[in-house]
Amino acid sequence: MNRVPPVRLPVAPLILGAALGTTILLVASGCAYQETAPPRPYLTSAPAARPSAPKPSASPAAPATTPALTDAQAQAALVTDADLGEPWTPTQGAATWRDGFLKATATTPDCHRLLDALYADDLLGSPARAAIGLDDEYDEAQLRYQISTRPPGDVDRALAWLKGLPRTCGTFKAVGPRREPVVVTVADAPLPEAGDARQGLRVTLTRGGEGDEGEGGEPVTLTLDVAAVRVGDDALTVTNGGLGDILDDSTWTAVELGAERLTQVRKQGRVQV
């Protein structure tokens, strides 16, 4: 029997197959490594420096409050009977004619406001810091001098109101406390060049008829000189009135001397209230 000789494969294909198998194994291992290895972190640039917070701007300084006169300084700035001389003496109380004339009412708002201000001795719309009343017993006159501390703008508005009264009121009719008619006249009155701003008025109030103070129903007239003056941050007011003649020079002296005295007191020093 003839024997079939064995088939011999070429050596090269075997080596190539083994190498190919090894390569496939390595590739598979590399894929497995890539699937299981953690991702490499990305490199980033250094973080930008944070901008520094802007420095707070300096707040504006609060405006200094206006120092006010002390009570002692306000009293020292008053004009007294010693300054005005005879016939003035310290008051004995409210004049008897105040209620009979100054309690009158008017329909026009500005005119009614004037009567109220005269009766209350409050021409500038604020309570006085210091006040003094003087009497002239010969003429039954009374002078009232007051000092107040108000913002200059408020005082100037009050002065502007007073200045407009001769135009807005002029001559008007009012009604007295006993329902009697009262005729009121408002006119400008000159003042000395004192203080920083000023306004003067002459106000007359005339009553007549039965039941009035005049003998036999004769008309009776009250005359009032009114002055308001601003001196820096302070103000003064003067009312000088009576049923007879009134001393004009007393009003002028009170305004001039009062403004000068207020100025001197302010220069001596102010304190915070």
pLDDT digits (tens, 9 = 90+) for 124-161: 987 899 999 999 988 889 999 999 988 999 999 999 99
Residue at 131 is within a domain: yes
What total number of domains does the chain contain?
1
Three-state SS for 231?
strand
pLDDT the model gives residue 246: 85
- pLDDT band, very low/low/confident/very high, at 67 (cuts 50, 70, 90): low
Residue at 145 is within a domain: yes
pLDDT the model gives residue 66: 52
- pLDDT band, very low/low/confident/very high, at 117 (cuts 50, 70, 90): very high
Residue at 29 is within a domain: no
pLDDT in tens, 78-96: 999 999 999 999 999 989 8
Lowest mean pLDDT among 35-49, 65-79, 157-171, 255-269: 35-49
Which residue would you say has higher pLDDT here, 245 or 184?
184
Structural domain harbouring 240: 89-267
Residue at 51 is within a domain: no
- pLDDT band, very low/low/confident/very high, at 9 (cuts 50, 70, 90): very low
pLDDT the model gives residue 65: 55
Residue at 121 is within a domain: yes
Residue at 176 is within a domain: yes
Residue at 231 is within a domain: yes
Compute and round to an integer the Cα radius of gyration of the chain. 49
Length of the chain: 273
Residue range 8-35: mean pLDDT, rounded: 44
Mean pLDDT of the chain: 80
Share of the chain above pLDDT 70, in %: 70
Look at residue 51 and tell me whether its pLDDT is greater than 60.
no
Task: Extract long-range pairs of 102-109: CB within 8 Å, 24+ residues apart.
Answer: 102/205, 102/222, 103/176, 103/177, 104/174, 104/175, 104/176, 104/177, 104/182, 104/184, 104/205, 105/174, 105/175, 106/172, 106/173, 106/174, 106/175, 106/184, 108/168, 108/169, 108/172
Is there a contact between 169 and 115 (Cβ–Cβ < 8 Å)?
Answer: no
CB-based contacts of 189: which residues, under 8 Å, 6+ apart? 200, 201, 202, 225, 226, 227
d(CA 142, CA 95): 7
The CATH number linked to 261 is: 3.40.1000
Residue range 3-16: mean pLDDT, rounded: 45
Residue at 229 is within a domain: yes
Angle between helices 109-120 and 152-168 in degrees, nearest 10: 120
